[in-house]
Amino acid sequence: MDREVRKRKILDIILKAHIESGLPVGSRYVSNVMGLSSATIRNAMADLEEEGYVEQPHTSAGRIPTEMAYRLYVNSLLNESDHVSYERERLNNELFSRYRTYNEMIEHTSAAISHLTNYTSFVIYPKDHLYMDGVHCMFEQPEFNSLDDIRKLLKALDEKERLLDMINSYISTGSLNVHIGKENKRDEFESCSIVTACYTVRKRIVGGLGIIGPVRMKYRSVVPLVKYLADSFSRMLERIL
């Protein structure tokens, strides 16, 4: 196996394991998954650390992905075909079939997204109205286990005008966006990732929706789900407005 290919496979294993557990990933675990010696894995992990893709917490021999690694991972997902048929079926049952008017749907969508993903969700419509649900989900994540972190994030989420300004700047690009950690425009969200997408009527952006979660977000399911919902909103609005 080519050295660079091997390193990318190791990085993918570290990413997926860390996303699931929130814990550092050791060379023994990667060795068992790949069927390679621990020494080979340790050397590759040292290379990945030198290149800025993983880092070693002071209290562990394992590695965790950096924001640079998550950016590489998310960029690869954005280029893939989406796979959310199960979530689509549930959403069609919960939203697009059950609620016959846009007002009914908008009131329940944010709650449904949060329920499906276990992250904080939001819907903006029109651009100065923010519907948010699942704020408590943030504080079930190990990344937000200190009182200072919780206070800072709660304050940021409570400042609706500033939050709206930031999210509207994301959706105004007209594309699906993923802002990871320090890529966010406000320091209070540097421990978060925010996935956003706009929805349109006759090619004009009228609102947006998305998810706020930890940098260790389950991007593989969240990203296509947000895109599907935004596209579905656009189609529905074209019919009723």
Q: Is 105 inside a domain boundary?
A: yes
- Domain assignment present for residue 76? The answer is no
Q: Is residue 205 part of a domain?
A: yes
Residue 215 belongs to some domain of the structure:
yes
Q: How many CA atoms lie within 13 A of 188 on its CB side?
A: 15
Instruction: Kindly state whether residue 73 falls inside one of the protein's structural domains.
Output: no
Whether residue 175 is found in the same domain as residue 211: yes
Q: Are residues 120 and 161 located together in one domain of the fold?
A: yes
* Sign of the torsion angle spanned by Cα atoms 210, 191, 18, 23: negative
Work out the average pLDDT over 99-113: 73
**85 pLDDT exceeds 60?**
no
CATH number, position 47 = 1.10.10.10
CATH assignment of the domain containing 228: 3.30.450.40
Q: Provide the domain count of the chain.
A: 2
Alpha-helical (H) ranges within the chain are 3-21, 27-34, 38-50, 67-78, 85-91, 102-117, 135-138, 147-158, 160-171, 219-240
Q: Is position 191 within any domain?
A: yes
Are 123 and 12 part of one and the same domain?
no
Residues 89 and 58 reside in one and the same domain: no
pLDDT of the residue at 196? 97
Q: Which residues of 9-25 are buried (b: 16+ CB within 10 A; e: fewer)?
A: bbbebbbbbbbeeeebb
pLDDT for 84 beyond 70: no
**Domain span holding position 105:** 85-240
**pLDDT digit string, tens, across residues 138-163:** 888 888 888 888 888 999 999 999 99
Confidence of residue 99 (pLDDT cuts 50, 70, 90): low
Residue 56 CA to residue 138 CA, distance in Å, equals: 24
Instruction: Identify whether residues 113 and 225 lie together within a single domain.
Output: yes
Say if residue 86's pLDDT is above 60: no
Regarding whether 166 and 91 lie in a shared domain, the answer is yes
Given 36, 65, 94, which residue is the final one in a domain? 65
Q: What's the longest Cα–Cα distance across the chain?
A: 62
**Residue 14 predicted with pLDDT over 80:** yes
pTM above the 0.85 mark? yes
Q: What pLDDT is attached to residue 201?
A: 86
